[in-house]
Amino acid sequence: MNVAQTIPNDRIDTDELTRRLEALSRFLRVVDPYLPDSDLVAAHTLVERASGRLTLSLDHTVVALAGSTGSGKSSLFNALARFKLSPVGVRRPTTGNAHAVVWGPLEPANRLLDWVGVLPRQRFVRESALDGDDEAALRGLVLLDLPDFDSIERGHQLEVDRLLGLVDQIVWVVDPQKYGDRVLHQAYLSQFATHSGVTIVVLNQADRLSPADTEVVVADLTRLLAEDGLTDTPVIASSAKQPGMLRDLRSALEDTVANRQAALRRLSADLDVIGDELGSMFGPPAAEDEVDRATVRQLSESLSASAGVAGVADATAGAYRHRASAATGWPLLRGLRRLRPDPLRKLHLAEPVKTDSVSTDVVPRTSVPEADAAQKSAVGLSVRAVADRAAAPLPEIWTPALNTAARSRAGDLPDALDRAVAQTDLGLEKPPAWWRAVGILQWVLLTAAGAGLVWLILGYALAALGLPEIDGVQVGSVPLPTLLLLTGLAGGLLLWLLIRPIIEAGARRAGRRAEQRLRSAITEVGRVHVVAPVREVLHAYAQAREAVGVVRSE
């Protein structure tokens, strides 16, 4: 049984391992706010353990002897150490705490044993001047004798589970009576199926079987191990009672110690397991612009409806009409127009809010009515649509994160919408020049009519008082004052009639323009408050996916 051949010889690159571990920590940092903690426990544990193990001595190899009660772990431990260090007994279960023996000086291994959690009084040093170089080949080996995992003492099992997570290499000690036990295969060996590089299975108490039976049993054990998934694990027959039967195990341990690879191999195998586990959280790559235009347009539609954009646009058109009439109407009737309210003023939107970096003014709240139930429903539906759209290509585990992200700023939406409406330049603050021109023209015409009227009245008064008439200037057959009065009045009226369609067209245009500007402001609000948080999650997904790719690389 040449063991050295069955142990994989490919060496693990420390830099590569560090790179994968860093990728794993990066992954954990990125997904921390988005994925449920319960799915990340194993990864967190591994990062912690790996950083612990890698800072400690890599010249030492921690090997654990694990097995059922009565399989002879302690006897094997003592036989390997060639001293009676761990108590051996016929009463079951025997060992309750782990014992450790260190080949070589104890001092450098002490921190490692502190980390593993072996009590100081259960640490022993193997190697003294008496041995000469007999034990030199095992220098650097830290051998642990674990408690059993299948006795009625539950505490033993918990201790074993803890220690198995920390050691570099595991030697499973089974015996001819118990090698087919369910608890051994289902709860332990199959869990370490991916760790065949750091696993050795020892059939102990082989002295109780005839050599022929030993081979049969080893073959059956190998079959059971293959069923557990441990196909290339070395199986070694040994016995603590006959020193000759320990040779294979000893040389396997010597190889392990000489290679100084077990710790790295263990972590690498752990990383493989975690990498596969995490791999299921990722599907195809998701572009950050996964949220398509149609969805965003739908969102901005419903947000616009909820913010009352149509109403504000109508009010803007009304205000245009109102102000244009006030500026260009027949001057005598303008006063009446002023008595009616400006529609925008009613919405508290009459003066556009000027905001820049230095302004400390508070953006005043508008009086646009609050959204009704149907509009709120519509907003809810389209926000949900954004999350659903983004979640479609991703594995299900990301759905809650996307839903939460899409709604993360939902509480701020009403205020943000109102603010956007209040800050949007509706395009009315500067009256067009032609209003002024028409206004002046109206005044000119009115003045002409007034002058004509005064002239006429003056003429009549002079005639009544018998004073000499002013010489009538005649334009054609019509006297000038009459002409002035009539032209002034008719001109004003005509002008007003003429520009009404122009005002109407202008009002419509102003309404449309306001609606456009409002919509783009609202779309921006939607982007910032709904789409951006979703994109953040998608970004995290892409980053985490890349990190897991590094973790999984062989």
Partner 1 sequence: MKAVINPSDRTGGGQVRPANLEVPPQLERLATGLSRLRAALGSASYPLELPSADEARRVGSALTAQLDDYLLPRLSRLDAPLLVVVGGSTGAGKSTLVNSLVQTPVSTAGVLRPTTRSPVLVVHPDDLPFFAPGPGGILPGLTRTGQSSSAPDAIQVIAAPTIGPGLALLDAPDIDSVVDHNRKLAAQLLAAADLWLFVTTAARYADAVPWEMLTTARLRGTVIALVLDRVPPDAVGDIAAHLGEMLTANELGSAPLFVLPETELDQRGLLPDAAIGPMRVWFAQLAEDANARFTVVRQTLNGALAALTPATEGLADAVDDQVRTARSLDERVEAAYRTARRVAEDGLRDGRLLRGEVMARWQEFVGTGDLIRGLESRVGHLRDRLIAAVSGRPTPSHNLRVAMESQLVTLMRGVAADAAEQAYAAWQAHPAGQVLLNPDLQHSSADLPQRADRLVRDWQQWVLELVRTEAGDKRAVARGAAYAANGAGLAVMIAVFTSTAFIPTGLEVAAGAGSAVAGQKVLEAIFGDQAIRTLATRARAELLTRVEELLAAEAARFTGLTAAVHQEAARGALLRQTAAEVEKAREELALTGSGS
**Contacting positions for partner 1 (CB under 8 A):** 68-71, 90-93, 150-154, 175-183, 185-186, 209, 213, 216-217, 220, 224, 227, 305, 308, 310-311, 314-315, 318, 343, 346-347, 367-370, 372-378, 380-381, 384, 388, 396, 399, 403
Nearest distance in Å: CB 157, partner 1: 8
CB of 350 to partner 1, least distance (A): 12
Nearest approach, Cβ of 70 to partner 1 (angstroms)? 3
Q: What's the min distance (Å) between Cβ of 377 and partner 1?
A: 2
Kindly state the smallest distance separating residue 404's Cβ from partner 1, in Å: 11
Structure tokens at 458: 């003056």
In residues, how long is the chain? 554
- What is the end-to-end Cα distance of the chain in Å, rounded? 29
d(CA 382, CA 19) in angstroms, rounded, equals: 42
Residues 6 or more apart whose CB falls under 8 angstroms from that of 544 comprise 27, 30, 31, 281, 282
CA distances for 246 relative to 236, 237, 243, angstroms: 9, 8, 5
Cα–Cα distance for residue pair 251/248, rounded to 1 Å: 5
Q: What whole-number distance in Å separates Cα of residue 222 and Cα of residue 233?
A: 8
- How near is the Cβ of 191 to partner 1 at its closest, in Å? 14
Euclidean distance between CA atoms 496 and 503, whole angstroms: 10
Residue number with CB closer to partner 1 (12 or 522):
522
C-alpha 292/C-alpha 385 separation (Å) is 11
Q: Strand order in 199-203's β-sheet?
A: 123-126, 99-103, 141-145, 61-67, 169-174, 199-203, 235-237
Please say which residue, 11 or 348, places its beta carbon nearer to partner 1. Answer: 348
| CB nearer partner 1, residue 270 or residue 418 | 418
Q: Nearest distance from residue 124's CB to partner 1, in Å?
A: 25
Residue number, 243 or 395, with CB nearest to partner 1: 395
Q: Phi and psi of 61, rounded to 5°? A: -120, 120
Nearer to partner 1, 118 or 406 (CB): 406
Q: Which is nearer to partner 1, 89 or 243 (CB)?
A: 89
Min CB(107)–partner 1 separation in Å: 37
Q: How far is residue 13's CA from residue 264's CA, in Å, rounded to a whole number? A: 8
Q: Which DSSP string corresponds to 78-94?
A: HHHHTS--S---SSSS-
Write down the residue that tokens 């049969």 correspond to.
216
Reduced to 3 states (helix: H, G, I; strand: E, B; else coil), residue 169 is strand
Q: How far is the CB of 185 from partner 1 (least distance, A)?
A: 5
CB 276: neighbour CB atoms within 10 A? 13
**Nearer residue to partner 1 within complex by CB, 81 or 347:** 347
Name the 3-class secondary structure at 518: helix
Q: Give 153 or 546: the residue with its C-beta nearer to partner 1.
A: 153
* Rounded-to-integer distance, Cα 12 and Cα 367, Å: 69
Q: Which is nearer to partner 1, 373 or 465 (CB)?
A: 373
